[in-house]
Structure 1
Amino acid sequence: MNTYFLVAGILCILLGLVHSIFGEILIFNSKRNKGSIVPTKKNPGLRTRHLRIIWANWHLSSVFGWCLGAILIKIALSHSNLNQEFVVMIIQTIIFTMFIGSLLVLIGTKGKHPGWIVLFLIGILLVIGSQ
Protein backbone atom coordinates (compact mmCIF):
# COMPACT_ATOMS: atom_id res chain seq x y z
CA MET A 1 0.00 0.00 0.00
CA ASN A 2 1.21 3.49 -0.83
CA THR A 3 0.35 5.61 2.22
CA TYR A 4 1.20 8.87 0.44
CA PHE A 5 -1.30 8.17 -2.34
CA LEU A 6 -3.91 7.08 0.22
CA VAL A 7 -3.56 10.29 2.24
CA ALA A 8 -3.59 12.38 -0.96
CA GLY A 9 -6.78 10.61 -2.08
CA ILE A 10 -8.47 11.17 1.26
CA LEU A 11 -7.45 14.86 1.16
CA CYS A 12 -8.99 15.18 -2.32
CA ILE A 13 -12.28 13.80 -1.07
CA LEU A 14 -12.25 15.96 2.08
CA LEU A 15 -11.33 19.08 0.11
CA GLY A 16 -14.23 18.47 -2.28
CA LEU A 17 -16.61 17.94 0.61
CA VAL A 18 -15.51 21.08 2.48
CA HIS A 19 -15.56 23.03 -0.80
CA SER A 20 -19.19 22.14 -1.52
CA ILE A 21 -20.44 22.62 2.04
CA PHE A 22 -18.71 25.96 2.62
CA GLY A 23 -19.68 27.16 -0.85
CA GLU A 24 -23.32 26.48 -0.11
CA ILE A 25 -23.17 28.13 3.31
CA LEU A 26 -20.95 31.13 2.56
CA ILE A 27 -21.78 31.90 -1.07
CA PHE A 28 -24.91 30.32 -2.49
CA ASN A 29 -27.30 30.11 0.47
CA SER A 30 -28.17 33.80 0.29
CA LYS A 31 -28.58 33.66 -3.48
CA ARG A 32 -31.42 31.15 -3.72
CA ASN A 33 -35.15 31.40 -3.25
CA LYS A 34 -36.70 29.20 -0.57
CA GLY A 35 -37.28 25.65 -1.76
CA SER A 36 -34.90 25.99 -4.70
CA ILE A 37 -31.76 23.88 -5.01
CA VAL A 38 -30.12 26.07 -7.65
CA PRO A 39 -29.52 29.73 -6.71
CA THR A 40 -31.52 32.13 -8.89
CA LYS A 41 -31.54 35.51 -7.14
CA LYS A 42 -30.28 38.15 -9.50
CA ASN A 43 -27.45 40.43 -8.47
CA PRO A 44 -26.34 43.64 -10.13
CA GLY A 45 -24.03 42.60 -12.96
CA LEU A 46 -24.77 38.89 -12.57
CA ARG A 47 -27.61 37.33 -14.52
CA THR A 48 -29.51 34.32 -13.23
CA ARG A 49 -28.07 32.06 -15.92
CA HIS A 50 -24.53 33.11 -14.93
CA LEU A 51 -25.24 32.41 -11.26
CA ARG A 52 -26.59 28.98 -12.20
CA ILE A 53 -23.47 28.02 -14.16
CA ILE A 54 -21.18 29.32 -11.41
CA TRP A 55 -23.09 27.13 -8.94
CA ALA A 56 -22.85 24.10 -11.24
CA ASN A 57 -19.13 24.62 -11.83
CA TRP A 58 -18.54 25.13 -8.13
CA HIS A 59 -19.91 21.70 -7.37
CA LEU A 60 -18.41 20.16 -10.50
CA SER A 61 -14.94 20.93 -9.17
CA SER A 62 -15.89 19.11 -5.95
CA VAL A 63 -17.08 16.08 -7.95
CA PHE A 64 -13.82 16.07 -9.93
CA GLY A 65 -11.92 16.17 -6.62
CA TRP A 66 -13.88 13.18 -5.35
CA CYS A 67 -13.15 11.27 -8.55
CA LEU A 68 -9.43 12.03 -8.36
CA GLY A 69 -9.50 11.00 -4.72
CA ALA A 70 -11.17 7.69 -5.59
CA ILE A 71 -8.56 7.03 -8.29
CA LEU A 72 -5.73 7.77 -5.86
CA ILE A 73 -7.20 5.52 -3.19
CA LYS A 74 -7.62 2.69 -5.68
CA ILE A 75 -4.00 3.11 -6.81
CA ALA A 76 -2.82 3.27 -3.20
CA LEU A 77 -4.56 0.04 -2.27
CA SER A 78 -3.97 -1.95 -5.50
CA HIS A 79 -0.70 -0.48 -6.75
CA SER A 80 1.02 -3.81 -7.49
CA ASN A 81 -1.98 -5.19 -9.41
CA LEU A 82 -2.18 -2.29 -11.87
CA ASN A 83 -0.35 -1.50 -15.09
CA GLN A 84 2.61 0.51 -13.77
CA GLU A 85 3.09 2.56 -16.93
CA PHE A 86 -0.55 3.63 -16.79
CA VAL A 87 -0.35 4.37 -13.05
CA VAL A 88 2.71 6.60 -13.59
CA MET A 89 0.85 8.56 -16.29
CA ILE A 90 -2.21 8.99 -14.04
CA ILE A 91 -0.14 10.11 -11.05
CA GLN A 92 1.90 12.56 -13.13
CA THR A 93 -1.29 14.02 -14.57
CA ILE A 94 -2.80 14.46 -11.11
CA ILE A 95 0.45 16.00 -9.80
CA PHE A 96 0.37 18.54 -12.64
CA THR A 97 -3.33 19.22 -11.98
CA MET A 98 -2.77 19.81 -8.26
CA PHE A 99 0.20 22.14 -8.71
CA ILE A 100 -1.47 24.19 -11.46
CA GLY A 101 -4.71 24.29 -9.46
CA SER A 102 -2.80 25.41 -6.40
CA LEU A 103 -1.09 28.16 -8.37
CA LEU A 104 -4.40 29.36 -9.85
CA VAL A 105 -6.06 29.57 -6.43
CA LEU A 106 -2.98 31.24 -4.93
CA ILE A 107 -2.87 33.90 -7.65
CA GLY A 108 -6.64 34.30 -7.99
CA THR A 109 -7.18 34.89 -4.28
CA LYS A 110 -3.84 36.53 -3.51
CA GLY A 111 -3.15 33.67 -1.11
CA LYS A 112 -6.24 34.36 1.03
CA HIS A 113 -8.09 31.13 0.17
CA PRO A 114 -6.60 28.13 2.02
CA GLY A 115 -7.51 25.74 -0.80
CA TRP A 116 -4.19 26.42 -2.54
CA ILE A 117 -2.34 24.95 0.45
CA VAL A 118 -4.31 21.70 0.37
CA LEU A 119 -3.89 21.35 -3.41
CA PHE A 120 -0.15 21.97 -3.04
CA LEU A 121 0.08 19.44 -0.19
CA ILE A 122 -1.69 16.81 -2.30
CA GLY A 123 0.81 17.44 -5.10
CA ILE A 124 3.74 17.11 -2.69
CA LEU A 125 2.37 13.85 -1.26
CA LEU A 126 2.06 12.44 -4.77
CA VAL A 127 5.61 13.46 -5.68
CA ILE A 128 6.96 11.81 -2.52
CA GLY A 129 4.81 8.72 -3.03
CA SER A 130 6.05 8.38 -6.61
CA GLN A 131 9.68 7.97 -5.54
Structure 2
Amino acid sequence: MNKYLLIAGTLCLVLGLFHLILGEILIFKNKKEHKKIIPTIVTCCIKERHLRIIWVSWYLVSVFGWCIGVLLIKIGTMQTEWRADLMQFIMTSITITMLCSSLLVFIATKGKHLGWVVLLIIGILTLLGI
Protein backbone atom coordinates (compact mmCIF):
# COMPACT_ATOMS: atom_id res chain seq x y z
CA MET A 1 0.00 0.00 0.00
CA ASN A 2 1.29 3.43 -0.94
CA LYS A 3 0.40 5.79 1.91
CA TYR A 4 1.28 8.93 -0.09
CA LEU A 5 -1.23 8.09 -2.81
CA LEU A 6 -3.86 7.01 -0.30
CA ILE A 7 -3.59 10.35 1.55
CA ALA A 8 -3.49 12.33 -1.72
CA GLY A 9 -6.59 10.52 -2.99
CA THR A 10 -8.44 11.10 0.27
CA LEU A 11 -7.52 14.80 0.16
CA CYS A 12 -8.94 14.99 -3.38
CA LEU A 13 -12.25 13.55 -2.19
CA VAL A 14 -12.41 15.89 0.82
CA LEU A 15 -11.41 18.93 -1.24
CA GLY A 16 -14.10 18.12 -3.83
CA LEU A 17 -16.72 17.83 -1.10
CA PHE A 18 -15.73 21.11 0.57
CA HIS A 19 -15.57 22.82 -2.83
CA LEU A 20 -19.09 21.71 -3.65
CA ILE A 21 -20.63 22.57 -0.27
CA LEU A 22 -18.90 25.92 0.22
CA GLY A 23 -19.67 26.97 -3.35
CA GLU A 24 -23.36 26.34 -2.79
CA ILE A 25 -23.34 28.23 0.51
CA LEU A 26 -21.05 31.13 -0.34
CA ILE A 27 -21.63 31.68 -4.05
CA PHE A 28 -24.84 30.17 -5.38
CA LYS A 29 -27.21 30.31 -2.39
CA ASN A 30 -28.52 33.80 -3.16
CA LYS A 31 -28.70 33.12 -6.90
CA LYS A 32 -31.51 30.54 -6.72
CA GLU A 33 -35.24 30.97 -6.79
CA HIS A 34 -37.24 29.11 -4.16
CA LYS A 35 -36.96 25.30 -4.53
CA LYS A 36 -34.81 25.47 -7.68
CA ILE A 37 -31.59 23.52 -7.98
CA ILE A 38 -29.91 25.54 -10.71
CA PRO A 39 -29.26 29.22 -10.02
CA THR A 40 -31.11 31.64 -12.28
CA ILE A 41 -31.03 34.98 -10.45
CA VAL A 42 -28.53 37.13 -12.31
CA THR A 43 -26.75 40.36 -11.51
CA CYS A 44 -26.23 43.32 -13.80
CA CYS A 45 -23.24 42.03 -15.74
CA ILE A 46 -24.04 38.37 -16.31
CA LYS A 47 -26.68 36.53 -18.29
CA GLU A 48 -28.67 33.60 -16.91
CA ARG A 49 -27.07 31.12 -19.33
CA HIS A 50 -23.63 32.22 -18.15
CA LEU A 51 -24.60 31.78 -14.52
CA ARG A 52 -25.87 28.30 -15.32
CA ILE A 53 -22.59 27.24 -16.98
CA ILE A 54 -20.58 28.68 -14.09
CA TRP A 55 -22.69 26.59 -11.71
CA VAL A 56 -22.20 23.44 -13.80
CA SER A 57 -18.46 24.13 -14.08
CA TRP A 58 -18.30 24.48 -10.31
CA TYR A 59 -19.76 21.00 -9.93
CA LEU A 60 -17.53 19.54 -12.64
CA VAL A 61 -14.44 20.63 -10.71
CA SER A 62 -15.64 18.62 -7.72
CA VAL A 63 -16.58 15.60 -9.84
CA PHE A 64 -13.21 15.60 -11.63
CA GLY A 65 -11.46 15.94 -8.25
CA TRP A 66 -13.37 12.93 -6.96
CA CYS A 67 -12.39 10.95 -10.06
CA ILE A 68 -8.72 11.73 -9.53
CA GLY A 69 -9.08 10.92 -5.83
CA VAL A 70 -10.61 7.52 -6.57
CA LEU A 71 -7.83 6.78 -9.09
CA LEU A 72 -5.16 7.68 -6.53
CA ILE A 73 -6.76 5.55 -3.84
CA LYS A 74 -7.15 2.59 -6.21
CA ILE A 75 -3.56 2.84 -7.40
CA GLY A 76 -2.32 3.37 -3.83
CA THR A 77 -4.10 0.27 -2.52
CA MET A 78 -3.37 -2.09 -5.41
CA GLN A 79 -1.80 -5.36 -4.35
CA THR A 80 -0.67 -6.27 -7.84
CA GLU A 81 1.38 -4.20 -10.20
CA TRP A 82 -0.02 -2.81 -13.42
CA ARG A 83 2.15 -1.91 -16.36
CA ALA A 84 4.88 0.33 -15.02
CA ASP A 85 4.89 2.68 -18.01
CA LEU A 86 1.13 3.21 -17.79
CA MET A 87 1.28 3.87 -14.04
CA GLN A 88 4.16 6.31 -14.55
CA PHE A 89 2.16 8.19 -17.19
CA ILE A 90 -0.98 8.37 -15.03
CA MET A 91 0.89 9.45 -11.91
CA THR A 92 2.95 12.05 -13.77
CA SER A 93 -0.20 13.44 -15.39
CA ILE A 94 -1.97 13.74 -12.03
CA THR A 95 1.08 15.31 -10.39
CA ILE A 96 1.45 17.95 -13.12
CA THR A 97 -2.32 18.63 -13.05
CA MET A 98 -2.33 19.20 -9.29
CA LEU A 99 0.81 21.35 -9.24
CA CYS A 100 -0.40 23.51 -12.15
CA SER A 101 -3.84 23.82 -10.54
CA SER A 102 -2.22 24.93 -7.31
CA LEU A 103 -0.22 27.57 -9.14
CA LEU A 104 -3.27 28.83 -11.04
CA VAL A 105 -5.38 29.16 -7.88
CA PHE A 106 -2.49 30.86 -6.08
CA ILE A 107 -1.97 33.39 -8.88
CA ALA A 108 -5.67 34.04 -9.50
CA THR A 109 -6.50 34.61 -5.83
CA LYS A 110 -3.17 36.14 -4.81
CA GLY A 111 -2.80 33.28 -2.35
CA LYS A 112 -6.00 34.13 -0.46
CA HIS A 113 -7.93 30.97 -1.43
CA LEU A 114 -6.60 28.05 0.61
CA GLY A 115 -7.41 25.58 -2.15
CA TRP A 116 -3.96 26.18 -3.62
CA VAL A 117 -2.35 24.76 -0.48
CA VAL A 118 -4.38 21.53 -0.61
CA LEU A 119 -3.72 21.15 -4.35
CA LEU A 120 0.00 21.66 -3.72
CA ILE A 121 -0.01 19.04 -0.95
CA ILE A 122 -1.85 16.58 -3.22
CA GLY A 123 0.71 17.24 -5.98
CA ILE A 124 3.65 16.71 -3.64
CA LEU A 125 2.16 13.53 -2.13
CA THR A 126 1.48 12.18 -5.61
CA LEU A 127 5.04 12.97 -6.63
CA LEU A 128 6.35 11.17 -3.53
CA GLY A 129 4.13 8.21 -4.35
CA ILE A 130 5.50 7.71 -7.86
TM-score range, shorter chain: over 0.9
Residue 97 of structure 2: aligned partner: 97
TM-score (norm 2): 0.97
CA deviations 1:33-77 (Å, max 9, x no partner) are 011100000111011000000000001000000000000001001
**Structure 1: segments with no counterpart, 5+ residues:** none
Is 1:69 the equivalent of 2:69? yes
1:80 counterpart SS class: coil
Residue 122 of structure 1: aligned partner: 122
Residue 88 of structure 1: aligned partner: 88
Deviation, structure 1 residue 100: 0.5
1:35 counterpart SS class: coil
Residue 78 of structure 2: aligned partner: 78
Task: Summarize the alignment of residues 9-20 of structure 1 with structure 2, pairs less than 5 Å apart.
Answer: 9-20=9-20
Task: State the AA in 2 paired with 1:33.
Answer: E
Deviation, structure 1 residue 81: 2.9
Q: How many pairs are equivalent?
A: 130
**Structure 2: segments with no counterpart, 5+ residues:** none
Structure 2 CA distance, aligned partners of 1:41 and 1:61? 22
Q: 1:115 to 1:79 in 2, by over 3 A?
A: farther
Residue 2 of structure 1: aligned partner: 2
| Contact map agreement 1:2 1:79 (CA 8 A) in 2 | no
Deviation, structure 1 residue 85: 1.2
Task: State the AA in 1 paired with 2:75.
Answer: I
Structure 1 CA distance, aligned partners of 2:42 and 2:97? 33
| Contact map agreement 1:5 1:129 (CA 8 A) in 2 | yes
Structure 1 CA distance, aligned partners of 2:113 and 2:85? 35
Runs (4 or more) in structure 1 with deviation over 2 Å come to none
- Alignment root-mean-square deviation, CA: 0.8
How many percent identity over aligned positions?
Answer: 51
